[in-house]
Amino acid sequence: MTNPISRYRSNPQPSVQTQGRRVIESGKTSQSGGSNPVHAQYMQDQFSYQPGYMDGLQNSGQSLVRSPQYLNAYSRAGPSDRMLLDQLKSLPNATAAFEAYQCLRGGAQNPARLSDGMVHDLTMGVANSRGVSQVGTEGLLSPSHVRNVKDALLGMPQQQFDQFASTYGNASESSAGVERQLLLKAVGARSSALGGGDAGQASSAMGEVVRFGQAVRGLGADQLIEGTSMLQTANSMGYAQKYNMSCPSAVRMTLMGEQDPVFAWQVRSNSQMENAAIEQSLVLGNGKTLDALEDGQSINDINRLYGTQALDPRKEYVAYSVTNGSLPGYLNQAATALRDGGDVPFVVTYSKGDGTFGGHNLSIEGVEGRNGQRFFKVHDNGSGGQTKLVPEQDLLNGSFLQKHFGWNENYSDFSVVSMNIPRNKIPAAKQQGPVVVQDPKVQQQQAYEEEWVQQGRPTSADLDDDIEIDEDNNDDIGFDDDW
């Protein structure tokens, strides 16, 4: 869908980048960082907050240590696990990390496959924030990542486990465990391929992990985090779409990279043209994009790249139309999914001020609390790849795009019109035919969607007509000059 940022271009070496009303003289790409006074001021504002708050919305070490579950686990733990549990009390994602620890120490066990060192790395990967180079206090791992890692480690063939054990064991200590955590996360992203019973898929999936391990070996923690994140960091912008109408596929790539560090590393290492080709394949491949989710389809079944499991195999996306004051309830559902490690794509529409409407795809990548207020971590591939912590109220009143991302001030009537919220899959044995979302407002939603079309608001059918493709291969892809 259309991107509202005026005259922004994603050229490999632009001399001027324009975001909203602010012109930035940089001479570098949006992902390369560099000296940039506006970017520097933004980063100072975003990263001035120090983690460690205890307000109960996401991270509450004080509440955790008083919980019966924690006290019971602590009483039964051995010396090394007690040291680990003691550490959680002062870390920003204590509750989520304890959930991950319970998963690792509960259910099926195989110490030869899931060592104490791996349990420590996985738990601390959830507990610690990604560092000062990331917006907010989200961990490098999440509870859902940890569940997938456990599945992969216990389910993969012995040959692939031996390969992984060697790669994991050779990881450098220079990154304070980040390198090992990323290797584990990469394995979890391939749990279906590694444990699906197909020897060829398992071999290919582990080959990707081994090559990734060789590529990142010995790098420092900040460099690793920067190179495996699709979101904005202290030194670079996040992933930005390369076509004026490719926001659905750019969101798709962001979701993939946040689940799979191997894919994120590739995207961060690619040229602009290589990433544009991936976007183009997603936009044009069988006409399927993220917009298809508005019909209730599962994102896990749409244009999976490279034959690997890049999204959470345990989950599926459910599409909801947001109408008549229903957004607060959907944000509550989204917050639950986000705390578990899910990502929530959503769609906004707006009036351009000339009697026409526009639409845009974005994603929510995290949620946290500050001083009793809830903030959502929103990533916009269209505004140069910015990631910002947005107060919930600004999402509810529609002001967040102009207030936080610098959208054109002439646009108005911003509305979140659909959200795609991940949920745990229903086991096939319990399904009665296709999974159908039972929503009490279905008729109301359908009426709204019909009104949306009648008003001329963009739909996925409009997508292919407006894509600007770099047919002469001269690296001049970007947004139309009259935007």
SS (H, E, C) the chain: CCCCCCCCCCCCCCCEEEECCEEEECCCCCCCCCCCHHHHHHHHHHHCCCCCCCCCCCCCHHHHHCCHHHHHHHHHCCHHHHHHHHHHCCCCCHHHHHHHHHHHHCCCCCCCCCCHHHHHHHHHHHHCECCCCECCCCECCCHHHHHHHHHHHHHCCHHHHHHHHHHHHCCCCCCCCHHHHHHHHHHHHCHHHHHCCCHHHHHHHHHHHHHHHHHHCCCCHHHHHHHCCCCCECCCCCCCCCCCCCHHHHHHHHHHHHHCHHHHHHHHHCCHHHHHHHHHHHHHHHHCCHHHHHHCCCHHHCCCCCCCCCCCCCEEEEEEECCCCCHHHHHHHHHHHHHCCCCEEEEEEEECCCCCEEEEEEEEEEEEEECCEEEEEEEECCCCCEEEEEEHHHHHCCCHHHHHHCCCCCCEEEEEEEEEEEEECCCHHHCCCCCCCCCCCHHHHHHHHHHHHHCCCCCHHHHHHHCCCCCCCCCCCCCCCCC
pLDDT at 477: 32
pLDDT at 426: 60
pLDDT at 321: 86
pLDDT at 60: 59
Q: What's the burial of 252, exposed, middle or buried (CB within 10 Å: 0-12/13-18/19+)?
A: buried
Please state whether 304 falls in left (phi above 0), alpha (psi between -120 and 50) or beta: beta
CA-based nearest residue to 253, from 243, 265, 267, 274? 267
pLDDT at 398: 93
Helices 143-155 and 116-127: crossing angle, nearest 10°? 160
Cα distance between residue 176 and residue 182, in whole Å: 12
Residue 378 contacts residue 347 (beta carbons within 8 Å):
no
State which amino acid sits at residue 424: N
CA-based nearest residue to 112, from 45, 174, 50, 165? 165
pLDDT at 203: 96
Residue 460 contacts residue 292 (beta carbons within 8 Å):
yes
Q: What's the burial of 176, exposed, middle or buried (CB within 10 Å: 0-12/13-18/19+)?
A: middle
CA-based nearest residue to 245, from 468, 397, 41, 450? 468
Longest dimension (CA), the chain: 68
Cα distance between residue 158 and residue 165, in whole Å: 10
Q: What's the burial of 112, exposed, middle or buried (CB within 10 Å: 0-12/13-18/19+)?
A: exposed
CA-based nearest residue to 267, from 309, 298, 231? 231
As given in the structure block, the two tokens for residue 215 are 């590529």
pLDDT at 438: 43
Residue 258 contacts residue 365 (beta carbons within 8 Å):
yes
Which pTM was predicted? 0.75
Residue 93 contacts residue 58 (beta carbons within 8 Å):
yes
Over its length of 483 residues, how does the chain's per-residue pLDDT go in tens digits? 433 332 222 222 222 222 322 222 222 223 333 333 333 333 333 333 333 333 334 445 777 888 899 999 999 999 999 999 999 988 989 999 999 999 999 987 888 899 999 999 999 999 998 875 568 888 999 999 999 999 999 999 999 999 999 999 999 988 889 999 999 999 999 999 999 889 999 999 999 999 999 999 999 998 999 999 999 988 889 999 988 778 888 888 899 899 999 999 999 998 888 888 887 776 555 444 444 433 333 333 333 332 333 467 777 777 788 887 899 999 999 999 999 998 999 999 999 888 888 889 999 999 998 888 999 999 999 999 999 999 999 999 999 999 999 998 889 999 999 898 888 876 555 444 444 444 444 444 444 445 545 555 444 334 333 333 333 333 333 322 222
| Gyration radius (Cα) of the chain, Å | 22
